[in-house]
Amino acid sequence: MTYVYRFGGGVSDGGKGDRNLLGGKGANLAEMASIGLPVPPGFTISTDFCAVYYDEGGQFPQGLRDEVATGIAHIEGVTGKRFGNAADPLLVSVRSGARASMPGMMDTVLNLGLNDQTVEGLATTSGDARFAWDSYRRFIQMYSDVVLELDHDAFEEALEIAKEDRGYFLDTDLTADDLRTLVAEYKALVEKQWGKPFPQDVHDQLWGAVGAVFGSWQSERAKVYRRLNDIPASWGTAVNIQAMVFGNMGDTSATGVAFTRDPAKGDRAYYGEFLINAQGEDVVAGIRTPQYLTTAAREAAGAKPLSMEEAMPVVFAELAKVFDLLETHYRDMQDIEFTVQQGKLWMLQTRSGKRTAKAALKIAVDMAEEGLITREEAVQRIDPAALDQLLHPTLDPKAPRDVLTKGLPASPGAASGQAVFDSDTAEKRANAGDSVILIRTETSPEDIHGMHAARGILTARGGMTSHAAVVARGMGRPCVSGAGSISIDAKAGVMKVGDRTIREGDLVTIDGTTGEVMAGEVPTVQPELSGDFAALMVWADGVRRLKVRANAETPLDAKVAREFGAEGIGLCRTEHMFFDAQRITDVRQMILAEDEAGRRTALDKLLPAQRSDFVQLFEVMAGLPVTIRLLDPPLHEFLPHQEAEFAEVARSAGIDIDVLKRRAAELHEFNPMLGHRGCRLGVTYPEIYEMQARAIFEAAIEVAVKSGAAPIPEVMIPLVGTARELELMKAVVDKAAEAVFADKGQRIEYLVGTMIELPRACLMAGEIAEIGEFFSFGTNDLTQTTLGVSRDDAARFLTTYVERGIYARDPFVSLDVEGVGQLIGMAAERGRAARPGIKLGICGEHGGDPASIAFCEATGLDYVSASPYRVPIARLAAAQAAL
């Protein structure tokens, strides 16, 4: 067969190695079946067909129809039931399953194969008419929603009215006869909305559902999820068709979801929820509050309803054995779906469980120590970007808290922001620069964009495996779920907790580690970087070749960077030192001076300030290399704007205010990014670079004398395009160095090099390397100048560019390896040919991006430089790149 792969009943056409072809769900169902676990029989239509489906304009060729018939025959053979048979019908589920798990993105239909005849057969064979009619009513509801795309609320409403009319409270109060009546109402609803009767032919039902799954691959919410998670549209989804098992056949039946370890903290304890007498999605949807799997978890939460361990001890023991077997088999923490039908356990899904960064670290380190995986594997298991979650502050335990209520600790970390009650508003406010907390009764896939925009998520309903919890953990957003004592009126924009009212825009804080919800903003503290984090970083450092430095200019940033393991500074942007309230006046005086003498007067005032900056920086980085970039930005960035600022400069410099204003007007540029900036400033006003070089060397000698550990200054000339520019500027720096050395009677080691950030510099790298002693690739500007895209103006079109597949990712976030990467590779090669062993590094945003770091490793650069908080991410990414 070309597209159909069977599983169950002793057959497995595929296995866990086939996830590209069968999707994660299909591959793992086949794998579980092949290792002897109880999996309801079924088959998978491969992802290859997804492309064919779109090529054929949503038609199914005869070949596929024949293969599917064979697949159905396989299920019939194993179960002994026949699809569409009125006496003893086979029912199936139709489930999507892509290569990467996309929680809630694609739609599943359960109980397919029921119609007016087969429902009677199901009632007879099961001996439970209520169960049969409940299954039929669920099927019509799901099918109408997912496949026919009818208004889903009308069905909910009919169900609510049916209960109200009879004075019932729970769905389970409805009798067989009530449900029979409800089914008739549902069918009338379908006919009214769809214009045709509900499909009674089971094969029509099946093909409708299969088409809906393939169709949902191109749904808006699937596209959004793919964009947020870098999943290519070309992968496609598979479709799984599988015999139904029923968790809704009374009190010996149940359905549940479980993790083999705690996905929030990583502890080695089974973790999960189940519901007695329920089907499929009831647990995830948060319709009833689920019960705990283990007694320990139930007791820890102080909950009353029996755990599965207590309510169904025999099946629980069997399940626990399956957990251990799956974990050893897959060598990773598993996320599992199961159903118990009248005391018999069935496995419906397993996959590597999503987990928080904290849990990922603990699980990787524990598994390496248990001998289940190697240390190298542990290093490879951690997504470097996810470390971000751990490196940021948590709530200050000493700060006062105005606790409103407590929910479930669904995704750890703390966040404060304005209360917002719908996802569109969350996105709008976040785009306007506000921090928001998204507060919903429960979330659904339509909320993805709001959850992404929010700092944290709070829900009134739903458990630890609810949509909100799973998605928040995946995104690294703090989340408190199931805070039952809050009531939300989204339309009015208010939430009530006891006698307290929170309105849209009010500040709230959530702590996803404890479940606390607080009014106002609570101050935060830095996290401890010990334990599992430290252990894993030691293993990572053991395999890494690339050095990791930080971009930092203040002593505080430098200190944070060193604590995070930076091995020097890769970029110190000296202009950042100029914005200080006192200094800015002197800087302005320098810029507005009409001649060299005027500039020198101002520079003399700046020299001591600049020197003391470098002293502090060198002290923090004692013994390590520090790359200092001389003044780079266009001068007008420092110009005064307000009258008072002009007056201040005029007074301090003793210059007429009108002269200053005229000079400021002269400095206007049409395209400052390509204007009078970078080394062009040094070429026209060498006294600026001379002052900066002097400050660097005086500071370096001061620290060398004081602490004995001389820093190694690497003086970097920005925006060089020709060897001659660098030659001129190097002469200025060398001359300043010699003057200082003569003055102090002491020499220190230093390098003069350049930032490579123009395409011409890449082309001329050979000549430039004859003068420059190091290259640092300034990939922000190199990306701008190579792509001809201004970063500050790119927001308007780049999203569309990424959506349309013009660039795979934002080239300012992740290096355009294809294009800009070629220039870097060429410059590195030409640079090395001219000066063997020339030091090569990268600074700019890309230095902290794992994919770009992999490129740097492959190109053989010596180091990457990232912002202080990204240093650990870069260390881990560099280790993974080396493995």
337 lies in the binding site for ligand ADP (CB under 6 A): yes
Q: Which residues contact 698 (CB under 8 A, 6 or more apart)?
A: 611, 740, 744
Of residues 262 and 337, the one with the C-beta less far from Mg ion: 337
Q: Is 287 helix (H, G, I), strand (E, B) or coil?
A: coil
312 contacts which partner out of Mg ion, ligand ADP, none, CB within 5 to 8 A by kind?
A: none
Of residues 107 and 178, the one with the C-beta less far from ligand ADP: 107
Cβ 152 to ligand ADP, closest distance in Å? 16
781 contacts which partner out of ligand ADP, Mg ion, none, CB within 5 to 8 A by kind?
A: Mg ion
Nearest of 497, 303, 290 to residue 405 by alpha carbon: 497
Answer yes or no: are the C-beta atoms of 405 and 497 closer than 8 Å.
yes
Answer yes or no: are the C-beta atoms of 347 and 336 closer than 8 Å.
yes
Instruction: Return the biggest CA–CA distance within the chain.
Output: 104
The upper half-sphere exposure of residue 265, i.e. CA atoms within 13 Å in the direction of its Cβ, equals 9
239 contacts which partner out of Mg ion, ligand ADP, none, CB within 5 to 8 A by kind?
A: none
28 lies in the binding site for Mg ion (CB under 5 A): no
339 contacts which partner out of Mg ion, ligand ADP, none, CB within 5 to 8 A by kind?
A: ligand ADP
**What dihedral do alpha carbons 778, 783, 785, 790 form, nearest 10°?**
-110
Cβ 249 to Mg ion, closest distance in Å? 20
The single residue of 452, 843, 846, 856 carrying the catalytic annotation is: 843
Which residues from 633-692 bind ligand ADP, rule CB under 6 A?
A: none
Cβ 299 to ligand ADP, closest distance in Å? 26
546 contacts which partner out of Mg ion, ligand ADP, none, CB within 5 to 8 A by kind?
A: none
412 contacts which partner out of Mg ion, ligand ADP, none, CB within 5 to 8 A by kind?
A: none
348 lies in the binding site for ligand ADP (CB under 6 A): yes
Interface stretch with ligand ADP, choices 174-182, 238-246, 530-538, 644-652 (CB under 6 A): 238-246
Vertex 23 angle, CA 22 and 26, to 5°: 65
Cβ 246 to ligand ADP, closest distance in Å? 7
Nearest of 79, 76, 88 to residue 117 by alpha carbon: 88
Q: Which residues contact 59 (CB under 8 A, 6 or more apart)?
A: 53
3-state secondary structure string across 661-728 = HHHHHHCCCCCHHHCCCCHHHHHHCHHHHHHHHHHHHHHHHHHHHHHCCCCEEEEEECCCCCHHHHHH
Cβ 280 to ligand ADP, closest distance in Å? 3
Task: Quote the CA–CA distance of 717 and 255 in Å, as a whole number.
Answer: 65
Q: Is 759 helix (H, G, I), strand (E, B) or coil?
A: helix
107 lies in the binding site for Mg ion (CB under 5 A): no
845 lies in the binding site for Mg ion (CB under 5 A): no
Which residues from 268-297 bind ligand ADP, rule CB under 6 A?
A: 280-281
Q: Is 396 helix (H, G, I), strand (E, B) or coil?
A: coil
Nearest of 134, 538, 560 to residue 365 by alpha carbon: 538
Both tokens of 448, joined, read 């993805």
Among 334, 339, 350, 589, binds ligand ADP (CB under 6 A): 339
Cβ 414 to ligand ADP, closest distance in Å? 29
778 contacts which partner out of Mg ion, ligand ADP, none, CB within 5 to 8 A by kind?
A: Mg ion
242 lies in the binding site for ligand ADP (CB under 6 A): yes
Query: Which amino acid is it at 839?
Result: K
Of residues 243 and 854, the one with the C-beta less far from ligand ADP: 243
Of residues 337 and 613, the one with the C-beta less far from Mg ion: 337
110 lies in the binding site for ligand ADP (CB under 6 A): yes
Among 24, 104, 290, 463, binds ligand ADP (CB under 6 A): 104
Cβ 589 to Mg ion, closest distance in Å? 25
Of residues 172 and 790, the one with the C-beta less far from ligand ADP: 172
Q: Give me the phi and psi of 203, to 5 degrees please.
A: -70, -35
Interface stretch with Mg ion, choices 330-338, 447-455, 759-767, 785-793 (CB under 5 A): 330-338
Both tokens of 477, joined, read 């957003």
The neighbour count for residue 304, using CB atoms within 10 Å, is 7
Cβ 389 to ligand ADP, closest distance in Å? 24
Please work out the total of residues on this chain that contact Mg ion, with binding judged by CB under 5 A: 5
108 contacts which partner out of Mg ion, ligand ADP, none, CB within 5 to 8 A by kind?
A: ligand ADP
3-state secondary structure string across 498-556 = CCEEEECCCEEEEECCCCEEEECCCCEECCCCCHHHHHHHHHHHHHCCCEEEEECCCHH
Of residues 71 and 280, the one with the C-beta less far from ligand ADP: 280
Among 34, 93, 349, 692, binds Mg ion (CB under 5 A): 349
Task: Convert residues 701-740 into a mask of x (bound to Mg ion by CB under 5 A) and - (unbound).
Answer: ----------------------------------------
Of residues 348 and 716, the one with the C-beta less far from ligand ADP: 348
446 lies in the binding site for ligand ADP (CB under 6 A): no
Is 676 labeled as catalytic in the residue annotation?
no
335 lies in the binding site for Mg ion (CB under 5 A): no
71 lies in the binding site for ligand ADP (CB under 6 A): no
What letter does residue 342 receive in the DSSP assignment?
Answer: T
244 contacts which partner out of Mg ion, ligand ADP, none, CB within 5 to 8 A by kind?
A: ligand ADP
Please state, in angstroms and as integers, the Cα–Cα distance from residue 564 to each residue in 549, 604, 650, following that order. 10, 36, 44
The neighbour count for residue 640, using CB atoms within 10 Å, is 20
Please work out the total of residues on this chain that contact ligand ADP, with binding judged by CB under 6 A: 16
How close are the terminal C-alpha atoms of the chain, in Å? 39
The neighbour count for residue 484, using CB atoms within 10 Å, is 12
40 lies in the binding site for ligand ADP (CB under 6 A): yes
216 lies in the binding site for ligand ADP (CB under 6 A): no
Interface stretch with ligand ADP, choices 126-134, 237-245, 306-314, 509-517 (CB under 6 A): 237-245
Answer yes or no: are the C-beta atoms of 264 and 410 closer than 8 Å.
yes
Task: Quote the CA–CA distance of 399 and 732 in Å, as a whole number.
Answer: 53
Among 183, 212, 222, 245, binds ligand ADP (CB under 6 A): 245
Among 93, 291, 784, 786, binds ligand ADP (CB under 6 A): 93
The upper half-sphere exposure of residue 65, i.e. CA atoms within 13 Å in the direction of its Cβ, equals 8
What angle, 0 to 180 degrees and rounded to 10, lies between the N-to-C axes of helices 581-592 and 596-620? 140
The single residue of 50, 74, 452, 467 carrying the catalytic annotation is: 467
Task: Quote the CA–CA distance of 871 and 880 in Å, as a whole number.
Answer: 14
The kind and range of the H/E element at 179 are helix 176-194
Task: Quote the CA–CA distance of 495 and 5 in Å, as a whole number.
Answer: 50
Both tokens of 47, joined, read 């992802």
Is 203 labeled as catalytic in the residue annotation?
no
Cβ 279 to ligand ADP, closest distance in Å? 6
Of residues 40 and 71, the one with the C-beta less far from ligand ADP: 40
Task: Convert residues 745-784 into a mask of x (bound to Mg ion by CB under 5 A) and - (unbound).
Answer: ------------x--------------------x--x---
97 lies in the binding site for Mg ion (CB under 5 A): no
Cβ 629 to Mg ion, closest distance in Å? 8
12 contacts which partner out of ligand ADP, Mg ion, none, CB within 5 to 8 A by kind?
A: none
Phi/psi class of residue 56: alpha, beta or left (left: φ > 0; alpha: ψ in -120 to 50)? alpha
Task: Quote the CA–CA distance of 593 and 645 in Å, as a whole number.
Answer: 15
Both tokens of 547, joined, read 């050095």
| Active site (catalytic) residues | 467, 843
Residues that bind ligand ADP (CB under 6 A): 40, 93, 95, 104, 108, 110, 242-245, 280-281, 337, 339, 348-349
Residues that bind Mg ion (CB under 5 A): 337, 349, 757, 778, 781
